Amino acid sequence: MSISERDSLAEGPTQWLNGPGGKDGLFRSLLEALPYASVVIDSEGRLLFVNSQTEKIFGYRRDELLGQPVETLVPERFRGAHIGHRAGYISEPHTRPMGSGLELTGLRKDGTDFPVEISLSPLKTEAGTLITAIIQDVSDRKRLEVALRASEERLRAILDNTEAVIYVKDTQGRYMLVNRRFEKLFHVANPQIVGMTAHDLFPKEFAQVFAENDRKVIHIGVPVALEEVVPQDDGPHTYISMKFSLDDTSGLPYAVCSISVDITERKQMEESLRESERRFRHLAHDQERQLILSERLISFGELTASLAHEFNNPLGIVIGFAQDLLTEVDPSDPRYQSVKIIEEEARRCKKVMKNLLDFGRQTPPQHTQTDPVEMVRKSLELVSPRFQKTGIRTVIENPGGLPKIWADAQQMSQVLVNLYFNALEAMPRGGTLTIGVAAMPSPPADDPAPNDDVIISVTDTGQGIEPGQLSKIFLPFFTTKSKKGMGLGLSICKRIMEAHHGKISVESAPGRGTTFSLYLPADRRRRPR
Ligand SMILES: Nc1ncnc2c1ncn2[C@@H]1O[C@H](COP(=O)(O)OP(=O)(O)OP(=O)(O)O)[C@@H](O)[C@H]1O
Ligand SMILES: [Mg+2]
């Protein structure tokens, strides 16, 4: 059907359309010039005009469309609804986009459909209202939109499926986007967080640091890796944050992005590694020291043995003369005190010499059958005046019926006296010293012989020993008594106990007291084996 044919069909509107300027009228030229498909329909929905873009987009020739219902250009499935909408629009026509919010679809002659956007406007003519529809093929845009959505979804999937904490903030420090990990850790959801700042989420001192770090990154303009401490529900965590600015097309930064990885565990592991390395070095140092000491002791032992002899006699003479003088000088004489000091100091020297001699002289024990309780009693008698003076009570606990031991009573008494003195020095304000003598508990089940090894325990109620020092007290020259001790007592004890095939051990509770235990094998010669 040609246009002239249509003119005779719809006289009024067509005439208007063809207007004062006839068929090449202004309006027609305008519609023709549009880069979009444009059609004009009458109130019955018949196509009165289609421009050349319409022909191109829909694949019809103009004469195939004119006079046809506009639904020709609408896919079958939407036609019914379209007729209804059209009638509604005709009754209340105004300029608006068609089907706002709906996906609109056009139908080509070849039966394929495609997405369109349509804007409608009424044309009032004397002959009635016509409707102009401008139709835009948005296939390309839709395709782009789909591609964009897919790429955004891919990006989201990456952001949300990482253990890293990721956020993007604008240059004012307002969050633009955070990933799921961020939402979970800091209890915020994505739409709400947009526009918030770190100050809305974190305590001030943390928020300030984050803001400052982000500001620096934008300022520097190159990616930066920083360590950041972040408060979380279970306490502060350490992160390593990779930060970089995002630039717009003109190269100006509009945002900063941060990708942060939690390194708390790694840090803790590093720290404990460092700690064990420190401990190991300490231990190695101790071992080395002990080795040096024991080497030094060999020559020291030889030296002291000879020196002690040399010193002992002159010291004896000094003490003798000092004592003579003390009997001659009147105690009120000022010289009396000086002589007294000479005598006391010479005695102290002699004691030190004796200690050194004991230490250096590694005489093998002269074993005899020894009653352990008797041995304890005698050794205690040697020191009891000192104990009484300090207000220390002494108790010997003995169940009776104990076997004799095979020991050097002299050397064992030296061990006990050393322990008593240590106890005395640990109880400067008095206390109790308990010496227990007992048979070794719990005999091994498969041992047919009576178990008659003996334990002597020396317990004080003194200051105790710090756990860190327990492993050191048997080392020669270890002392906490500065000038008052040489740190030799316990190492002598240990050496004597080993020479007896026995053992010495210690248990201590700082502030409450200490127990030294001496394990002594019984006189095995008499045991049937
Ligand atoms: N009963 C105890 N209570 C508390 N600390 C003790 C006790 N016995 C030993 N010690 C600790 O062990 C260290 C070593 O003791 P050790 O007898 O070997 O040397 P010393 O008493 O310091 O000096 P020396 O015995 O040579 O005069 C002491 O300095 C002290 O710190
Ligand atoms: Mg001592």
> Which residue's alpha carbon is nearest to atom 28 within ligand 1?
479
| The predicted structure's pLDDT at residue 501 | 87
Alpha-carbon distances, residue 122 vs 28, 134, 139, 461 (angstroms)? 15, 12, 26, 110
Report how far residue 346's alpha carbon sits from residue 352's, in angstroms, rounded to the nearest whole number. 10
What are the phi and psi torsion angles at 476 (to 5°)?
A: -60, 140
Q: What pairing do the DSSP bridges indicate for beta strands 113-125 and 96-97?
A: antiparallel
Ligand having the closest approach to the CA of 464 = 1
> What does the pLDDT average to over 13-42?
72
Q: Which of 349, 458, 473 to mutate to test ligand 1, by most ligand atoms within 8 A of the CB atom? A: 473
**pTM for this entry:** 0.43
| The predicted structure's pLDDT at residue 303 | 65
CATH dotted code for 3-137: 3.30.450.20
Q: Using an 8 Å Cβ cutoff, are 430 and 443 in contact?
A: no
The rounded Å distance from CA 508 to ligand 1 centre is 12
Same topology between domain 3-137 and domain 150-262: yes
The rounded Å distance from CA 417 to ligand 2 centre is 9
Ligand having the closest approach to the CA of 478 = 1
> Which residue's alpha carbon is nearest to atom 5 within ligand 1?
465
Q: Of 465, 446, 477, 478, which is closest to residue 505 (Cα–Cα)?
A: 465
Confidence of residue 470 (pLDDT cuts 50, 70, 90): very high
Q: Which residues, judged by CB distance below 6 Å to any ligand atom, belong to the binding site of ligand 1?
A: 418, 422-423, 426, 460, 462-465, 473, 478-481, 485-491, 514
Ligand having the closest approach to the CA of 507 = 1
> Which residue's alpha carbon is nearest to atom 7 within ligand 1?
422
Tokens representing 487 are 């740190």
Tokens representing 125 are 């003519």
Q: pLDDT tens for residues 312-350?
A: 778 888 888 888 888 988 889 888 988 888 888 888 888
Report how far residue 526's alpha carbon sits from residue 226's, in angstroms, rounded to the nearest whole number. 78
> What does the pLDDT average to over 26-35?
83
**Would you call 26 exposed, middle or buried from its count of C-beta atoms within 10 A (0-12, 13-18, 19+)?**
exposed
The rounded Å distance from CA 413 to ligand 1 centre is 17
The rounded Å distance from CA 473 to ligand 1 centre is 7
Q: pLDDT tens for residues 400-416?
A: 888 888 888 888 988 99
Fold for 268-360, please state it: Helix Hairpins (1.10.287)
Q: Of 114, 113, 88, which is closest to residue 99 (Cα–Cα)?
A: 88
The environment of the single-atom ion ligand 2, i.e. residues with CB closer than 5 A, is 422, 489
> What does the pLDDT average to over 112-141?
88
Q: Of 17, 154, 3, 162, which is closest to residue 67 (Cα–Cα)?
A: 3
Q: Using an 8 Å Cβ cutoff, are 59 and 109 in contact?
A: yes
Evaluate if residue 105 carries a pLDDT over 70: yes
| The predicted structure's pLDDT at residue 13 | 53
Fold for 368-526, please state it: Heat Shock Protein 90 (3.30.565)
The rounded Å distance from CA 432 to ligand 2 centre is 18
R_g of the chain, CA atoms, integer Å: 53
Ligand having the closest approach to the CA of 512 = 1
Helix axes 11-18, 26-33, angle to 10 degrees: 80
The rounded Å distance from CA 419 to ligand 2 centre is 7
Tokens representing 251 are 């190269």
CB atoms within 10 A of CB 66: 22
Q: pLDDT tens for residues 343-382?
A: 888 888 887 777 777 666 667 788 888 899 999 999 998 8
The rounded Å distance from CA 454 to ligand 2 centre is 23
Q: Which atom of ligand 1 is nearest to the CA of 458?
A: 1
> What does the pLDDT average to over 467-488?
86
Q: Where are the domains of the chain?
A: 3-137, 150-262, 268-360, 368-526
Fold for 150-262, please state it: Beta-Lactamase (3.30.450)
